[in-house]
Structure 1
Amino acid sequence: MKRDLIYTNNIFLKVIFFFLSIIYLILNRIKFYLFKHNILKKVKIDNTFVVSVGNITAGGTGKTPFVIWLTQRLKKKGLKVGVVFRAYKSKEKEGIVSDGDSMLMDISESGDEPWLIAKKTSVPVAIGKYRAKIAKRLSEQYSLDVVIMDDAFQYWRLIRDLDIVCVDGKEMFYNKKILPLGIMREPIENLDRAHIAVIKRQDQIAGEDEDLKKYFDEDAIFDMSYELSLSERVKESKRILALAGIAKPEGFFNMLRKRLPESKVFGMPFNDHCIYDLDDIKRINMFCKKNMIDSIVCTEKDYFKLVELMDDVECAQLKVNIRGGEDIEERIVNASDNSR
């Protein structure tokens, strides 16, 4: 379902979404009950600290940049870190994407986010439908100190030691209704399962988070902001085409416009996890000719897919800043020492 439909004013669709959201909620609660009461068995990884990074809303919360930031910081602290994803839009259903030294899958086999994180962090990365199984395998095979589980707040089969929830500071929880009537994957009160909240800030002022303060102490809420690193060519261009196949492409386009106020930035959105083809490239080239584009820039996630099809695309690299982020690092470092 397209995300825009969530915001529809169509009464007929809203009625349908209301009943679908009830079904979604009931199924969610049944699954949680089964795991909570050990009817469905949980898996524990011995001698490894397990961190879940997820969200309670649908998409676009800054989870991937945060996982990259956290992985890089823990690695610098001397910890052996691995990252596990579910096999989403990948040709392979299970396997090792990278052993930390070499890429063992291409981007079409692994999916874009696992491949990007493996490339950016140089740590073991795996994908699998049965994430508890592949996480255990990854930990044992590479003697990991920490396993980071991507998008795992609703994944209860694996016992975790720390739950981190990422939140979009602009959208927050919208109308607090369950998918597809709203953007919530589960009721907001379930935030009490999480230990840390990371808020993706853009133009929002810190402190617009009263809902979070009901479930987290102030020292467990962290603000995350971004800076874009651009090439000189892009910075000197007057007419720029921005490409983004991410959950909320407008956020990327607005960052560029704010970073380059003297330039005209055109935004061309694509579906999240888009696999570009020759028709897309033809559409991009036609737009560039028609609008006299000086340079083309895209997100890091898109760059590795586009660079094989285009010679002149530039990558806007993202630098992540987390206010007080060293507290997250130290909490994991200290706890992982105790878990070994």
Structure 2
Amino acid sequence: MKIFLYLFYPLSWIYRFLFWWSQSRILPFHLPNVLVISVGNLTVGGTGKTPFVQYLVRYFQKKYPSYAITILSRGYKAEKTKEGAILPSGNEPQLYGDEPSQHKEMFPDVQVIIGRDRKKSFLLYNKIQSKKHIVILDDGFQHKQLYRDFDFVLLDANSPFGNGLTLPLGFLREPIGHSKRANAIVFTKLTLQHKQRLDRYKKVLIQNDVTIPIFHSSFQATVKEVLLNQNFIQEPFPLHSNLNLKYFLITGVGNPKNVYETAKSTLLSESIRTKFFPDHFEYATSSLLSLLNEIQTSEILITTEKDWIKMRKDTSFTGELVRRNIRVFLLLIQVSIEEDEEMKSMLAGLVSTYESKTGQVSGT
């Protein structure tokens, strides 16, 4: 393995040079009359951006109800990512992408816009004219084409830097030291086990001259049952009185092992079989129907909102679930910030600064 790394190590330097060269040629564009907050990664893979974006939306909707909110996303693997689009609903993930569709379903009043060219998509599809407007740039740390007022970089506490190498030999999109370009770092998916290693990770950041504020977050999960014969109404499920149930976990996310650990701790069960697919997996009818044959008698199908929003579109699959009397549970994940008051104070400061620049008066 070490010989392989030595032989191909120059590839990482070539990647870093090409990344630097492409980024250096870009002059960020200021979206007019909006406060732009970016949520992004230093690494490839899932770091919990989706629940963190939803945390921000919940905060701003509650604290600043007079503000409109837009989530601006590439719409990875969406059919309309090239031309761009504004989401009418969360019911067509194949057109608009699974994560944007999940955002739209969870927050119907939030404007969700997708497009590979996010500047063009926003200018073309934005329907909000008020200056009281917050744009959350989803997966935006490397998207230098747009100016942002604040940058969050999320680091997965399981393995924030991988092997420390950039693509193609490691998981880093750019070197660790580049995270100083952000305004704050959030360690995500924190557990008691990870806390013992955090000091080591923070030393790595300091060694790379990264001294920006650091926050810590964990997942808080709840479970709801999908009532398939009642128009997919989700009902809270009393787990405390059903500790002996068996589950079959199906998911296609960036870090499926973390979903599994979250499911174990939430369901209070060790009886969970798993089937993992690649991130943004498209569930074809054939794969869904074959999955049904893997579910054992008395097992409950459990999955994430991100997966279910794609699965449920297949009526032959949902029909078979009903026919075979297979129950479906959804794992609903929200972010909990350890330094919640400090985070909210910082976000309020961003709005206050934005209002001062634009002459606005807060509606709170």
Deviation, 1:195, is 0.2
Q: How far apart in 1 are the matches of 2:123 and 2:92?
A: 23
Give, in angstroms, the shift of residue 120 of structure 1: 1.2
Task: Give the superposition deviation at 1:54.
Answer: 0.6
Residue 296 of structure 1: how far off its partner (Å): 0.7
* 1:161 aligns to 2:176 (yes or no): no
Per-residue deviation, residues 103-153 of structure 1 (Å, max 9, x unmatched): 287211001011111111220011111112223345564535111111111
What is the rounded CA distance, in whole Å, between the counterparts of 1:62 and 1:104 in structure 2? 20
Specify the alignment match of 2:164 in structure 1.
Answer: 176
Do the aligned partners of residues 58 and 262 (structure 1) sit closer, same or farther apart at CA in structure 2, a change above 3 Å counting?
closer
Q: Aligned to 2:195, which of 205, 209, 215?
A: 205
Alpha carbons of 1:294 and 1:328: their partners in 2 closer, same or farther (altered >3 Å)?
Answer: farther
Cα separation, 2, equivalents of 1:155 and 1:62: 18
Alignment of 1:126-137 (within 5 A): 126-137=113-124
- 1:32, CA displacement in angstroms? 2.2
Alpha-carbon separation, structure 2, partners of 1:274 and 1:177: 26
1:250 to 257, 279, 291: 257
Distance of 1:243 and 1:222 partners within structure 2: 30
Q: Return closer, same or farther for 1:142/1:212 CA change in 2, 3 Å cut-off.
A: farther
1:292-303, aligned counterparts within 5 Å? 292-303=297-308
Give how far 1:157 is off.
Answer: 1.3
Superposition map of 1:186-335 within 5 A: 186-203=174-191, 204-205=194-195, 207-208=198-199, 209-213=202-206, 214-217=209-212, 220-231=213-224, 232=237, 236=242, 237-289=244-296, 292-308=297-313, 309-310=317-318, 311=321, 312-323=327-338, 324=340, 325-335=343-353
Query: Quick one: distance in 2 between partners of 1:248 and 1:104?
Result: 23
Give the distance between the partners of 2:139 and 2:175, measured in 1 at CA. Answer: 17
Contact kept, 8 Å, 2:90 with 2:101, in 1: the verdict is no
Which residues of structure 2 form unaligned runs of 5+? 225-236, 322-326, 359-364
Say whether the 8 Å CA contact 1:82–1:138 is kept in structure 2: no
Cα distance between partner residues in 2 of 1:154 and 1:108: 24
Task: Classify 1:285/1:63 alpha carbon distance in 2 versus 1 (closer, same or farther; 3 Å).
Answer: same
Cα distance, 1:245 vs structure 2 = 0.6
Aligned residues: 319
Q: Partner residue of 1:113? A: 99
Give TM-score, length-normalised by structure 1. 0.86
Measure how far apart 1:17 and its partner are. 4.5
Residue of structure 2 equivalent to 1:6: none
**Map of 2:231 onto structure 1:** none
In structure 2, distance between residues paired with 1:234 and 1:119: 25
Unaligned residue ranges in structure 1 (runs of 5+): 1-8, 36-40
TM-superposed CA distance for 1:25, in Å, is 1.0
Q: Judging changes above 3 Å, is the alpha-carbon distance between structure 1 residues 21 and 337 closer, same or farther for their aligned structure 2 residues?
A: same
Post-superposition shift, 1:234?
Answer: 6.5
- When the two structures are superposed, what TM-score results if normalisation uses the length of structure 2? 0.81
Q: What CA distance in whole angstroms lies between the structure 1 residues aligned with 2:205 and 2:126? A: 33
Q: Kindly, what percent of the aligned residue pairs are identical?
A: 28
Q: Which moved more, 1:223-232 or 1:18-27?
A: 18-27
Match of 1:198, SS state, is: strand
Partner Cα separation in structure 2 for residue 336 and residue 315 of structure 1: 38
- Which one-letter code corresponds to 1:134 in the other structure? S
Structure 1 residues 48 and 339 mapped into 2: Cα distance closer, same or farther (>3 Å)? Answer: farther
> Post-superposition shift, 1:254?
1.1
